[in-house]
Structure 1
Amino acid sequence: MSFKRGLTALSAFILVCTGILTGCATASPVDDVNLPAVQNISVAEAKSLIDRNVVSADFIILDVRTPSEYAQGHIPGAVNLDYYASFEASLSAFDKTKTYLVYCRTGNRSASAARLMLDNGFAAIYNIQGGINVWISGGLPLET
């Protein structure tokens, strides 16, 4: 095979491979923009979300702190699901189609919990940035 013919064959091969790779990349029906994601929201946004959904059975507030932290005061209507006590295993009991507002003391555990929920197929997850500490400093209501 001559050098020129070999170069032409190699060029054709590269063009075919490039076309296949780019064709696959652009033909994908998945749009990353529309994939579910955790929405990190402020305390003010969380309060507004709660106020808009207070009577909805499709809206659940999850407090992922320990039971003793929860007992000291929590957002009214919140369900306690301790992040450190088999949180992921307990998720199977929850409806993945509902909307969840997740919080902890500072926002770290709830961010991890929200990611686990997302990885387990939950679609609508909101995480309160700063957690209940910021909620309390904003003078918002608690129940015990």
Structure 2
Amino acid sequence: MKSIKLKTLSLAMAVILTFALAACASKSEPAPAANTEPAPAPAQTPEVSSNTDVIAEAVDSYFANMPSDIYKIGDKEFVEKVKANENMFIMDIRMPDAYEKGHVKGAVNIPWGTAISENLDKLPSDKPIMVYCYTGQTAGQTVALLNMAGYIAKSVHLGWNLGISKVEGINDLIETTPNELVAGMPADTKPEIKAAIDKYYKGLDEVKGTTYANYKISEDDAKKLLDAKDDSIIFLSIRNAEDYAKGHIEGALNIPFANGMEKQFNTLPKDKKIIVYCYTGQTAGQTVAALRLLGYDAVSLNAGMGTPATGDAGWMNKGYPVVK
């Protein structure tokens, strides 16, 4: 019996000694070397689109989807729609004093400038917006911006002075009572576009009182720059190729106003002021708005080349020279 106890005790001591040695060995084992390789950078989520991409897409879409009416409505056709009480929003962007003297029945006054960008979210997206100014040029700029913001907008041909006020029967449709802007169903405008439009209208303060007020230039001032051979400017004719061939301002480039014209914008210089002209100034206004959003320094020529409807206004109506 004594022998068995001794054997049991010896076995227990051996087991204890084995665990003790194992523990000592574990404590004395050197730690594995630290990993000195730099941790891999977290995977970057590719940016869906930059502000520039969003704006470029809006401009491309504007021209690529240009309707046959080129975002305009004839003055007589517009007056007929007013007579018929068609469901549309009429936007008078003239200054308040002109609006107060008389405006189209039902028209709301949102003066040209930051009032437009500030009230962008109050405009209706569920009905067409008819925009008119004095002669059509600032309405052209506005219509381009509104369509890029997701609205359905058209400018009234020749505006109030040269178009609407001369239509037969218009006197029965003129009122002096102001109409309040009632918030409608706003378009789902991308924030990048909103910011660009806001910047566009705020930029008018920077050119106020200069040769390029309202992002326009007079025929006389443009002629002075041409005579001085000022190489900081370039003329861009957006009339059709046939009319360009018959006569254009010396040195002018030609990109006809039509679907697909946006594909040629990258041929234009960004280090020059681009003076855009058409026939009366309205499509030039649309083009100027698009180019400025893309980063070009563009302005439109007052009254364009001129037509009988523009009276004495317009390059050719003033007797200024053209080349073939």
TM-score band (shorter)? Answer: 0.5 to 0.7
**C-alpha contact 1:73 1:142 (8 A) present in aligned 2:** yes
Tell me which residue corresponds to 2:298.
Answer: 125
Q: Which residue of 1 aligns with 2:186?
A: none
Q: Secondary structure at the match of 1:135?
A: coil
Choose from 224, 228, 244 the match for 1:48.
224
CA distance in 1, matches of 2:244, 2:214: 23
Which protein, 1 or 2, shows the higher relative CO under an 8 Å CA cutoff with sep ≥ 6? Answer: 1
Partner of 1:61: 235
String of CA shifts for 1:103-126, please: whole Å, max 9, x gaps. Answer: 01111111111111001111x222
RMSD: 2.4
1:58-97 equivalences under 5 Å are 58-97=232-271
Match of 2:321?
141
- Name stretches of at least 5 consecutive residues in structure 1 with no aligned partner: 1-29
Instruction: Please report how far the alpha carbon of residue 38 of structure 1 lies from its aligned counterpart in structure 2 after TM superposition.
Output: 5.9
Q: 1:74 to 1:60 in 2, by over 3 A?
A: same
**8 Å contact from structure 1 (residues 65, 82) kept in 2:** yes
Q: Matches of 1:103 and 1:92 in 2, distance apart?
A: 18
Percent identical among aligned pairs is 28
| CA deviations over 1:81-138 (Å, ceiling 9, x no partner) | 112142222111222221111101111111111111001111x222111110111111
Give structure 2 stretches of 5+ with no counterpart: 1-198, 208-212, 307-313
Matched pairs, number? 112
Counterpart Cα distance in 1 of 2:292 and 2:235:
16
Runs of 4+, deviation exceeding 6 Å? none
- What amino acid does structure 2 have at the position aligned with 1:127? S
1:139 alignment partner, SS class: coil
Residue 60 of structure 1 contacts residue 78 of structure 1 at CA under 8 Å; is this kept in 2? Answer: yes
TM-score (norm 1): 0.68
- Write the distance in 2 (CA, Å) between the matches of 1:111 and 1:84: 14
Deviation at 1:55, TM superposition (A): 5.2
Determine the structure 1 residue equivalent to 2:215: 39
CA contact (8 A) 1:38 1:127 kept: no
State the structure with more CA Rg: 2
CA 1:74–1:42: 2 relative to 1, 3 Å: same
Contact 1:38 1:125 in 2 (8 A): no
Instruction: Report the TM-score, using the length of structure 2 for normalisation.
Output: 0.32
Seen in structure 2, the aligned counterparts of structure 1 residues 112 and 64 have a Cα distance that, compared at 3 Å, is same
Instruction: In structure 1, give the amino acid aligned to 2:320.
Output: L
Distance 2:283 2:218 in 1: 16
- Distance (whole Å) between structure 2 residues aligned to residue 39 and residue 97 of structure 1: 17
For each residue in 1:29-63, what CA deviation from the matched residue of structure 2 results, as whole angstroms up to 9, or x when unmatched? x875449x8621221111112223x252x421100
User: Residues 100-115 of structure 1 correspond to what in structure 2 (within 5 A)?
Assistant: 100-115=274-289
- Residue 116 (structure 1) aligned with residue 290 (structure 2): yes
The answer to whether the Cα contact below 8 Å between 1:38 and 1:114 also exists between their aligned partners in 2 is no
Equivalents in 2 of 1:42, 1:55: separation in Å? 16
